[in-house]
Structure 1
Amino acid sequence: MNVIKNYKLFYAISLAVIAVGLIMFAVNGLNYGIDFTGGTMLQLEVGKFVSVEQAREIVSVYDENASIIHSGPEKAELIIRSSKDLSNKDTTEIVSQFVEVYGMDGSNFQTQKFGPFMGKEIRDRAIFSVIIASVLMLAYISFRFQFKFGVAAVIALVHDVLVTFAVYSVLRLPVNSSFIAAILTIVGYSINDTIVIFDRIREESKIYPKLGFGEVINNSINLSLRRTLFTTLTTLMAVTILYIVGVEDVKVLALPLIIGMLSGTYSSLFIATPILYSLKRLKTNG
């Protein structure tokens, strides 16, 4: 695999995804979830298990993006959280349909309206956390390798965060507290593959000092490719299964992790290494 030869193609793919995401963000903004917007919570004691898909057939008429999870020892309760300020008429109609379709006791429900508990301060803290983590990673990688290795790794991390935001902007996926947690997890996970490949590049440079740096990078990627793909696929399988069979609250955490892992593997192989090569050439030419 000749990554260095085709680096313009890899750059173009990433830039296209990020550009589309930024355009969609500028036009429509992000689809902030209930954690940021506030809304309505409706808790129903249905008396028997009703799947999320069955419940959504009723709830989607009022809010197709509502969060629906089970509660109780036998999952006989449903907790519906909507980012919309549902009226008393809407909640009454929802309860009435559950009574009609599933024989629910019409008095066994609770409704609550609440404001956003995650606002600008928490968003700012999340951004600040990513910046601090990036600076510390830059310092660590610069100490363990060289400064240009650290710069390439941090640019790859920013790439992964932007790609994840782009996917959420384009698909209008809800941004909530789980998304923030997933972004912070992605930053830590993504750097792992990059460091492994950088370590291989350093070793290959010492073993074959007469080879050109581009060839050293390609050899290192090919030697690390199987390990990188197997590690990612193993983790991805576990997270994907959680997304498929997990409850709603697990799915909203698993989805950004899936996107981030795919982006992280891509950036470690096809973004970080070409950037490192470009930085090396700049230093040589300078």
Structure 2
Amino acid sequence: MSYKNRYDFIKNRNIFFIASAAVTVIGIIMVLLFNMHYGVDFKSGTSLDLALGKTTDKAQVEQIFADAKLSPVILTIGGANSDRVSARYDEVLTEEQVKVLTTTFAGVFGEQVSSEVNTVSPDMANEMKNKAMIAVGVASLAVALYVTIRFEWRFALSAIVTILYDAFFVIAIFSIFRLEVDLPFVAAVLTTIGYSINDKIVILDRIRENLRFAKLKTDADLAELVNTSIWQTMGRSINTVITVLIAALCLYLFGSESIKLFALAKMIGLVSGVYSSICLATPMWYLLKRTSLKSVKAAPAKANP
């Protein structure tokens, strides 16, 4: 089957490089200027989740918090006609303050009101933040080591650079749109690294197989080989990401408030992973391989003494 009439990813590689570089630069600027919007897991404070047993609206809930004189920094209602309320405080609430809140809500909605309280001290927040960064770093290094052993250095370098891009892309999107970063977000980034390397290995392995039978004489031959390899694995890449995207979308639409941002980060990472595998990793390998082809051709060109 001929793939010559399909979209030429190698010819249009600069479009992808420029777009990805722009997103990366914007993300770096946002992270440096505004940092991440850390949740209670990485910032000291108290998070209070209430199940009221009766539907409510934001105006009613805000009034209850005002009556208790404990208005939160962030207040989230589960949705229209929801009975779930999430409140975020930058300071650590005392047991007495939590009791005042739960008692006030119970007085309005009845004894069926239940609550879940998560409190993080400043020391614990710093420790969790450091451990999260270590986890992402160790995972990235482990993947880099595996790819380096499994493939030649050009494949490894292309995969490693684009895996780091995928992880940072999720971080950049959350920083740009000021979305909350918590422990589930770290889990989503780690999962993104795993899915990303899977996509890349599928395509790069097909390139390696096609190289065994290819007779490369020109840059056009190399570009054709890479484009053919991409299209040969396109169906598998798209089907895999769509399958997992459906599951992540269901978590986002029907899951609880605490898991929505995890699902969103997962969806962003999945899309970034398949994009970088097709549009970044393979063109990057092409550029590295093209340089080696030119150096091989240059050797016979020397005049005999």
Query: Shorter-chain-normalised TM-score: which range?
Result: 0.7 to 0.9
Conservation of the 8 A alpha-carbon contact between 2:48 and 2:116: yes
1:233 aligns to 2:239 (yes or no): no
Conservation of the 8 A alpha-carbon contact between 2:44 and 2:125: no
- Aligned to 2:175, which of 169, 175, 181? 169
1:218 aligns to 2:218 (yes or no): no
> Which amino acid is the alignment partner of residue 286 of structure 2?
Y
How many residues were matched structurally? 275
Query: TM-score, normalization: structure 2?
Result: 0.77
In 2 relative to 1, CA 164–266 (structure 1 residues): closer, same or farther, beyond 3 Å?
same
Conservation of the 8 A alpha-carbon contact between 1:242 and 1:254: yes
1:257 aligns to 2:266 (yes or no): yes
Deviations 1:54-110 (A, max 9, x none): 4697259944744678xxxxx98x57341433888999689757755xx33599879
% identical equivalent positions: 31
In 2 relative to 1, CA 37–152 (structure 1 residues): closer, same or farther, beyond 3 Å?
same
Q: Give the Cα separation in 1 of the matches to 2:116 and 2:184.
A: 25
1:244 aligns to 2:250 (yes or no): no
- The answer for unaligned runs of 5 or more in structure 1 is 70-74
Which residue matches 2:293? 284
Conservation of the 8 A alpha-carbon contact between 1:41 and 1:82: yes
- Aligned to 1:145, which of 145, 151, 157? 151
Deviations 1:202-247 (A, max 9, x none): 1121233346222111111111111111111111011101110001
In 2 relative to 1, CA 95–137 (structure 1 residues): closer, same or farther, beyond 3 Å?
same
In 2 relative to 1, CA 85–285 (structure 1 residues): closer, same or farther, beyond 3 Å?
same
Structure showing greater radius of gyration is 2
- The answer for unaligned runs of 5 or more in structure 2 is 1-6, 296-305
- Aligned to 1:16, which of 11, 22, 35? 22
Deviation at 1:135, TM superposition (A): 3.0
Which residues in structure 2 correspond to 1:126-145 (within 5 Å)? 126-145=132-151
Moved more, 139-148 or 163-172: 139-148
- Aligned to 1:82, which of 79, 88, 104? 88
Conservation of the 8 A alpha-carbon contact between 1:42 and 1:91: no
Q: Give the Cα separation in 1 of the matches to 2:249 and 2:150.
A: 34
Deviation at 1:182, TM superposition (A): 1.1
> Which amino acid is the alignment partner of residue 13 of structure 1?
A
Conservation of the 8 A alpha-carbon contact between 1:34 and 1:81: no
Conservation of the 8 A alpha-carbon contact between 1:35 and 1:117: no
Q: Give the Cα separation in 1 of the matches to 2:119 and 2:133.
A: 28
In 2 relative to 1, CA 206–79 (structure 1 residues): closer, same or farther, beyond 3 Å?
same
Q: Give the Cα separation in 1 of the matches to 2:248 and 2:118.
A: 32
Q: Give the Cα separation in 2 of the matches to 1:143 and 1:113.
A: 43
Moved more, 251-260 or 85-94: 85-94
SS of residue in 2 equivalent to 1:34: coil
Deviation at 1:25, TM superposition (A): 1.8
Deviation at 1:285, TM superposition (A): 4.0
Query: TM-score, normalization: structure 1?
Result: 0.81
Conservation of the 8 A alpha-carbon contact between 1:137 and 1:150: no
Conservation of the 8 A alpha-carbon contact between 2:188 and 2:262: yes
Moved more, 200-209 or 150-159: 200-209
Which residue matches 1:72? none
